[in-house]
Amino acid sequence: MSSRSLEKHYHINADQLGQQYKDHLSDYHSWDQKEHACEWLLFPDNIGPSLSIDETSPSNGVLYTVVTNKAAKGQKGAIVAMAKGTESGSIISVLKQIPEASRKRVTEVTLDMAASMHKIVKQCFPKASE
């Protein structure tokens, strides 16, 4: 539920509520990925044997590469990694932070025909079929 929807029902300031949540109720300020969150996010516990990799542009035309666990079907635990850009070298450096044993358990990766995506899969998930 968003703070905007609460604003309508409870006649509160949604911006102030959101800021109060971020500053006092959530663990945002102690979040271990806060320093690099604008560039990349990594959730290695979400990895599974079947992944998908693709690029997306959530806003302002900035491209991000997203790796998801297909078993989660877009729900909680789906995102394995999200990195700004599509350049294979930078995406590989993020994904290689996942323990090698976990990456070797990946048996399948769904991807498009982009050469950079093939390179990422080959280097990061050596036992996966495409």
pLDDT at residue 31, as a whole number: 67
pTM: 0.77
Which regions of the chain are under pLDDT 50?
none
pLDDT at residue 49, as a whole number: 97
Query: Where along the chain do its domains lie?
Result: 1-30, 34-124
pLDDT at residue 5, as a whole number: 81
pLDDT at residue 57, as a whole number: 86
**Residues 95, 49: Cα–Cα separation, whole Å:** 15
SS3 110: strand
pLDDT at residue 119, as a whole number: 96
**Residues 98, 124: Cα–Cα separation, whole Å:** 9
18 sits in which H/E element: helix 14-20
